[in-house]
Structure 1
Amino acid sequence: MKRSLTFLLIVFIVFSTSMVIAQADLGRESSVQKATVMLKIELSGIIDSALVEYVKKAVEEASSNKYAILMLLNTPGGSLDAALHIIEILRRSSVPVVGYVVGRWAVSAGTLILFCTHVAAMQPGTIVGAMQPVEVSPFGGYRPVNETKILNPIYKEAEACLKLRNRNTTVAELMVYHNFVMDAEEAYNSHVVEFVAANVDELMQKLRGLKVDTIAGTWMLEPETIIDYPPSLSIRLAHALSDPLISSLISSLASLLILVGILTANYHVLAFGVVLFLVSLLGVGFHINIIALALIIVGISLVIAEILFVPGTTVVGVAGFISLVLGLLLLPAVAPTTISPEYMRLTFYTVAAITLPIAG
């Protein structure tokens, strides 16, 4: 009798333990959310504040609908401040974000963004890296930034993103301090990205069944549908104006119009040139302080007064010119930007090729 009771007790304990384990496994499975729809966004061209707003809206849209995000990256870099805002959005995202480098590259600021995505992938032939920032002057020049007080935080941000996603952190130092560049195969073999895929369809196949942890819990990627999420018209316009190539062309044209307006006493041309010049300043992201803005406004006003009301009064015109120059010189330098030097050279040569013949 005792043996029977002992046997039944053992059976009961084993059965109860099995049930508890099964319920725990079931609970874990039920807590995993499935992402069957992916919201596709494209970050192309310069990384700027317009793209920050674009990514923010996309994450909000995806979060409200329980979508994952497929972020296509093809960028030479851009504003460091904008890139840092984007990676902060990615860190706080409750839905998985898959970064996929397509076309040519995602260097500089683009690499930093890729590092912070929950899943990183690259198209064969694309490259990442070259994260040393450059500093752009108000007059179109640039220089590589070597100050450790700027480089060290960028390095730590890159390292933190790689560590957060359980990737190889050793490449961060090479890319920030030595402009190291990797192609897709090198990045994959070095555990910097999780996948190499020739196209979106191949990437979707590789993502199926993958579990991804976000701040809201664990997700399983089971992509069946991709929904395009294009930027709004206002974001597109702001993004276009923020491109150094476009803003430099606008600035050069504005300078020529202002010069022609002054020399010919044509205030219509002058006014149009001033408007274009201000647009170009907004485009490249200048944060104009009050004194500089006041000097510019006073300078322009004096020059216009010279032309319209007191022609021939050299003192007024000279004072206006000096005020305008001082205002321009007092404009704060643009914050360090992580745009590839190659793209900056292209911008310089393009602007020079277009404006020099006109000026000559």
Structure 2
Amino acid sequence: MTPKSNLSCVFAQTIVILVVLLTLVTSLHATETPNSISLQVAGTVTKAIVVEIKPPWDVIDSGVKECFLDALSKAESEGKALIYLVDSYGGYLDAAYTIGDAVSNSRVPTIAYVSGGKALSAGTMIILPANVIALHPSAIIGAMQPVMINPVTGEIQFVNESKIINPVVEKALNYARLRSRNETLVRDFVIKATTVSAEKAVSYGVADFIAQDLPTLLKTIRGYEVSVSGVVVRLEIEESGLEFYACSIRSRLLSLLENSTILNVLLTIGLLGTIFALLSGRITVLPLTLLFLLLGLAGSGLNPNLVSLFLIILGGVLLAVELFVLPGFGIVGISGIILLAFGFALLPTYLPSGLVPSEEYLNALRTFIISTSVILGGFFGILMFKIIKVRRKKPYEFLPTGKVGKALDDLGPGRTGFVIVEGEYWKATSDEEIPRGSEVVVVGVEGAVLRVRKK
């Protein structure tokens, strides 16, 4: 064999090895990253994840968005359909866009059911890209014209600027076009704030079905076929195959923080409290005022992951200082526990697989930390209350004046001896002669010496 042929053979073997290694690496990456798996939902779907967007969590905000995306991710990983029950007046545009895009790109069948009386504004936006839209007989949809709310006066201002309203129109039309829905009516939803009933929504081709309740809906869509990523899927979902998704503590906390009333209170207390703590020198209350301020900023749009990280670090530092530097356990340690509790509550539900073993482990860890923090916080709170209560009490002083005792020595003017009064030995003196063994009465106290007289 010539050197040239040897070189060609080696080159060919190298290429084969590289191809094999590349194939192995690609397959391993696909195995380790659930989101990279191309899910083939072919044939029939018999189970579904159910997520609710209903009062009191009916505002479509960051918390509801995270809960919805978590539920959709769970449905995709388990090969189940996603049913979302909507009863909402609307919410924030960015959250609605994120939910709508996730639904339009879903790898499993999506079914939107307006189970309450309305799905207005952002509520309509998130149901448009669903494979199936069903409405309660009394439900209404539409009114998608964007509005702005004055944070000071609470006044609602309708937005008509083309720079804002045109993207909303186009996004809604994209969703309608994706599922072959009535584009003219969808445009009117945004431009004219048109609202239609369930019956009209179905007759005009925006919705698919009317159902009195969820079991009725399941019967109605049984055998219905939808297209998911180019694959035709038949819906055969039984009521026994439903799994209601419980939103995480983080998502609910985010919804609370974005509430305008709670947000304003947190920012006010946090800002004024921090200024007061710095000016008055009461540094021990500074961590709590910073907590209010950071939670308010998280509700205002600051990345909650950064807030969570900062709270966990600061809480750990405060707890370490209280345990290893300061004597006893006081406000610094309690502040550390509170900061840790909120930090873990805001911890992201999903992290890269290299950081945590699984979602279940993370949720269990979060629950354990919060429960432990609440228990320890309550215990140390009661302990501090008892300590403060004891410190505020007047010191107990035994005043034996008027008490009857017995002379153990001979007493007299200028002489001291011992007497016993209510089981205690005291030095005593008297202005009269008192023989040993006589009963005496305490008439005064001079320092640590009693003045007595014969009974």
> What is the TM-score of this pair, normalised by structure 1?
0.64
Relative to its length, the structure with more helix (as a share) is 1
Instruction: Specify the code of the residue in structure 1 equivalent to 2:204.
Output: S
C-alpha separation in 1, matches of 2:272 and 2:140: 38
**Aligned residue number for residue 280 of structure 1:** 296
C-alpha separation in 2, matches of 1:154 and 1:257: 41
Instruction: Specify the code of the residue in structure 2 equivalent to 1:69.
Output: L
Aligned mate of 1:127, from 126, 140, 143:
140
**Aligned residue number for residue 207 of structure 2:** 193
Q: Tell me if 1:231 matches 2:247.
A: yes
C-alpha separation in 2, matches of 1:95 and 1:114: 15
Secondary structure of the residue that 2:207 maps to in structure 1?
A: coil
Deviation (angstroms), 1:228:
1.0
Asked if structure 2 preserves the Cα contact closer than 8 Å seen for 1:77 and 1:106, the reply is yes
**Aligned residue number for residue 130 of structure 2:** 117
C-alpha separation in 2, matches of 1:31 and 1:73: 25
Give deviations 1:181-205, integer Å, cap 9, x for gaps. 1222221222211011111010001
C-alpha separation in 2, matches of 1:168 and 1:100: 18
Instruction: Specify the code of the residue in structure 2 equivalent to 1:39.
Output: I
Aligned mate of 1:47, from 17, 41, 60:
60
Q: Tell me if 1:161 matches 2:171.
A: no
Give deviations 1:40-68, integer Å, cap 9, x for gaps. 01123211223332222222221222211
Aligned mate of 1:63, from 56, 61, 76:
76
Q: 1:140 to 1:191 in 2, by over 3 A?
A: same
Asked if structure 2 preserves the Cα contact closer than 8 Å seen for 1:43 and 1:75, the reply is yes
Asked if structure 2 preserves the Cα contact closer than 8 Å seen for 1:94 and 1:216, the reply is no
C-alpha separation in 1, matches of 2:264 and 2:141: 26
Aligned mate of 1:208, from 206, 217, 222:
222
Q: Tell me if 1:80 matches 2:93.
A: yes
Deviation (angstroms), 1:131:
1.1
**Aligned residue number for residue 33 of structure 1:** 43
In percent, how many aligned pairs have the same letter? Answer: 32
Secondary structure of the residue that 1:99 maps to in structure 2?
A: strand
> What is the TM-score of this pair, normalised by structure 2?
0.51
Give deviations 1:237-283, integer Å, cap 9, x for gaps. 12222233443454466577679879998777787455424422321
Deviation (angstroms), 1:95:
0.6
**Aligned residue number for residue 244 of structure 1:** 260
Give deviations 1:325-357, integer Å, cap 9, x for gaps. xxxxxxxxxxxxxxxxxxxxxxxxxxxxxxxxx
Aligned mate of 1:222, from 233, 236, 239:
236
C-alpha separation in 1, matches of 2:136 and 2:184: 22
C-alpha separation in 1, matches of 2:66 and 2:262: 20
Secondary structure of the residue that 2:89 maps to in structure 1?
A: strand
Structure 1 stretches of 4+ with a deviation exceeding 6 A read 258-271
**Aligned residue number for residue 355 of structure 1:** none
**Aligned residue number for residue 115 of structure 2:** 102
Instruction: Specify the code of the residue in structure 1 equivalent to 2:47.
Output: V
RMSD: 2.9
Q: Highest Rg: 1 or 2?
A: 2
**Aligned residue number for residue 147 of structure 1:** 161
C-alpha separation in 1, matches of 2:197 and 2:261: 26
Asked if structure 1 preserves the Cα contact closer than 8 Å seen for 2:62 and 2:251, the reply is no
Asked if structure 1 preserves the Cα contact closer than 8 Å seen for 2:89 and 2:118, the reply is yes
**Aligned residue number for residue 175 of structure 1:** 189
C-alpha separation in 1, matches of 2:302 and 2:187: 29
Deviation larger for 134-143 or 159-168:
134-143
C-alpha separation in 1, matches of 2:271 and 2:147: 25
C-alpha separation in 1, matches of 2:141 and 2:271: 36
Deviation (angstroms), 1:217:
1.0
Q: 1:215 to 1:250 in 2, by over 3 A?
A: same
Give deviations 1:223-242, integer Å, cap 9, x for gaps. 11111111122222122222
Deviation (angstroms), 1:206:
0.4
C-alpha separation in 2, matches of 1:104 and 1:245: 25
The equivalences for 1:255-270 within 5 A come to none
Q: 1:77 to 1:67 in 2, by over 3 A?
A: same
Secondary structure of the residue that 1:98 maps to in structure 2?
A: strand
**Aligned residue number for residue 435 of structure 2:** none
C-alpha separation in 2, matches of 1:151 and 1:113: 17
Q: 1:264 to 1:227 in 2, by over 3 A?
A: same
